[in-house]
Every structure is written in structure tokens, then in C-alpha cells.
Amino acid sequence: MNVIELKQLTKTYRVYQKKEGLLASLGGLFQREYRDVNAVRGIDLTVAKGEFVAFLGPNGAGKTTTLKLLSGVINPTSGTAQVLGYVPWERKNAYRRRFALVMGQKNQLWWDLPANESYRLHQQIYRIEPAEFTRTLDELTGLLGVRELLRQPVRELSLGERMKMELIAALLHSPEVLFLDEPTIGLDVIAQHNVRQFLKQYQLERQTTILLTSHYMKDVAALCERVVVIAHGQIEYDGSLAGILDRFSGHKIVTLAFTENQMPPDLTPFGEILEVLPPKVKLRIDRNVVAEKLASLLSQHSVEDVSVEEPPLEEVIADVFSRATRSKEA
């Protein structure tokens, strides 16, 4: 069953172009120049129940705009979307009771009050039964290890603790669909790990459908089987994380350790040299000739150790992004 269905979803913003300088600013009072920004350009996407999908893309790619459209925060320019059978921007209460949005850069808890007080408000707005509220809150605070922080004013919490509290606020009403916009942004390594572990476990138990945007590849690798790469408002790739490597990375990284003083002077015929730390060499070799090159290397030289690896995911993704930028400019 598809929980999310997008067809040709498009969002265009009209942005005022401010010129530099005072005179130009004064001119702007009377005559303004606008530019159309195509934040999302005809996205088609379906997500099945219980999927954990990552949205990857450079800044300004349209990830957050898509999440805002799906949450009904903004209206689209054209196209259709259905989430749980509802059109998000109709803002039906029945829909709003069934999903949640967490934005890592914004907070919805009352700043000067303990998180507990904000949760009580949520309980009333979402009409959560007292017994269920207590049970869910207990479960979530236990999982995230923040039970003793419930009575501390939010402004006195660390960033990581506050993010956990925000997550709890979003999950109290047990949403069936969850949109996470960079939930680990700015967190230290340990806090990132904790949030990641929590999301993994929570999703496993509840089978919540989750869309996540993140710039941290570790988030994506740990949580999502399916990855959607967005660049310039369009979907560039939709598939497994491993599939990105197959499709976008044309090479493998081969590390060789030669026997003492046996390192050949010139290795360029075999591939691009990335690093030389005698007796070790790191080479970048085209994916489709790896076996062939490796065979001739091993037959011609005395090699003690070999390893063949995929290039780092971050590199491949960055490459996908820059390729998308180049093709747009062209």
C-alpha cells in the first residue's frame, strides 16, 4: 500500500532581487525585480507503508520544500500529492493527527518551560487518552534516556537533549508518517549516534513510514534502505544506497603493498595514483577493468597484500551533485 504519492509536484517561489547600494534600494521601493526560483520541479514519487526513505541533495535542492509541501505548510504551484489518502495542503485535522514533522533547525517546545508542559499541551491538542499518553511518554523518554530532564526548562537543555525532546513531542501522538528534516544537524557524534539508534529501533517496532533528509551519510547508511537523490528540484536517483555506487561510481579503490624495495617506479599504466606511502600505493582503477589490471599487476610484480574497496559514499554523492549542477549549467 502506498502511503505517499506525488505526481509532477512543482513549487516555484517568486523572489525579490535586491540590488546593492542605497540608491538601488530606494529604486526598489517603486520598481522591483523578481526572479522565479524553481524549488521543486515535477517530482514523481511513491513511498510504501513502513519504508524509511532518505532524501539526499545539496543545500537548496528542494528537500525541505518537498517536506513542507507534504506537511501542508505550503501550497504547491502545480501537481498533486496524497499522503495517507489526504491532500496535505487542505490541512484537514484528520490528516494532521496522523503525521509529524521534525525540523532540526527549528523548535516547537516552549522555550522557558520544562518539556513536560509542552507535552501536556500536545496531549490536549491531539486528544491523547491519559493512559496512552503516560505509556508513550514513558516509553519514549526511556528509549532516549531523558526521563530525568522532563522537568528542566527547555532553554537549559543541551542541543542534543533538546533535539530528543523535540522528537518526543513529534511522536507523542504515534504518527503513521514522520518527516524528519535534518534531525541530527549540529549534534556531536555521540548524540547523533543516540538519535540514530533511537530512530532505527522506533521504526522497527512501529513500522512508521519515515522520510528523512540529512547531510550525514552515516544517518542514511544506518537507517535507510532506499535513497532518493534530489538536485535542482528534480529526482536524480531513486534506489538502494549500494545502487548509487554501481550507477554513479565508475571506479574502485585498490590498495597494494609491495614486497620491500620491489615497488615499481611507474604505476600509471594501471590506474590513477591517489597516494604513495612506500611500500604502499593507493590506485583508482576503472570498475570494468579492475580484474584485468589487477591480474597483470600481480603477475609482473611481487605484491604482499591487496585490498579492493568501493570509493567513500560521500565522494560519490558529491560527484552526483556536482554532475547535476554541471548538466543544469550546460
Partner 1 sequence: MSEQQPVLVRVFLTFARNSLVREMTFRTNFFIQCVSAISWTLMNLGFYLIIFHHLNRKPLADGSGWQQNEFFVFLATTWIVFSIVQAFFMPNVQEFSELIRTGNLDFVFLKPIDTQFLISFAKVDWSALANFVMGILLLTVGVWRLTTQSNNPLSLNLANVLLYWFYVACGVTILYSLMISLAATSIWLGRNQSLYDFWFYITNFSRYPMEIYARSWGWSLWGLFTFVIPILIVINVPARILARPLRPEGPWLGLPLSGFAILATLVCLVISRRVFSLALQSYRSASS
Residues that bind partner 1 (CB under 8 A): 13, 64, 68, 71-75, 91, 93-94, 96-97, 99-101, 103, 105-106, 108, 110, 112-113, 117-118, 120-121, 124-129, 132, 153, 173-174, 181-182
Contact 40, 235 (CB under 8 A): no
Burial of 229 from C-beta contacts in 10 A (0-12 / 13-18 / 19+) = buried
Burial of 317 from C-beta contacts in 10 A (0-12 / 13-18 / 19+) = buried
**Nearer to partner 1 (CB atom), residue 164 or residue 173:** 173
Other beta carbons within 10 angstroms of residue 116's beta carbon come to: 16
Cell of residue 290, nine digits: 579492475
Q: CB of residue 169 vs partner 1: minimum separation in angstroms?
A: 10
- Report the distance separating Cα 178 and Cα 172, nearest Å: 12
Q: CB of residue 20 vs partner 1: minimum separation in angstroms?
A: 19
Q: CB of residue 257 vs partner 1: minimum separation in angstroms?
A: 46
3-state class of 297 per DSSP?
A: helix
**Which amino acid, 37?**
V
Cell of residue 9, nine digits: 509536484
- Report the distance separating Cα 238 and Cα 230, nearest Å: 9
**Beta bridge partner(s), residue 211:** 53, 179
**Nearer to partner 1 (CB atom), residue 113 or residue 245:** 113
**Nearer to partner 1 (CB atom), residue 15 or residue 308:** 15
Q: CB of residue 183 vs partner 1: minimum separation in angstroms?
A: 12
**Nearer to partner 1 (CB atom), residue 113 or residue 257:** 113
Q: CB of residue 97 vs partner 1: minimum separation in angstroms?
A: 4
**Nearer to partner 1 (CB atom), residue 73 or residue 241:** 73
Q: CB of residue 186 vs partner 1: minimum separation in angstroms?
A: 13
Burial of 39 from C-beta contacts in 10 A (0-12 / 13-18 / 19+) = buried
Element (H, E) at 33: strand 33-48
Return phi, psi of residue 178, to 5°.
Answer: -130, 125
**Nearer to partner 1 (CB atom), residue 82 or residue 174:** 174
Q: CB of residue 180 vs partner 1: minimum separation in angstroms?
A: 12
Which residues have C-beta within 8 Å of that of residue 283, sequence separation ≥ 6?
A: 253, 254, 255, 256, 267, 270, 271, 272, 273, 274
**Nearer to partner 1 (CB atom), residue 110 or residue 237:** 110
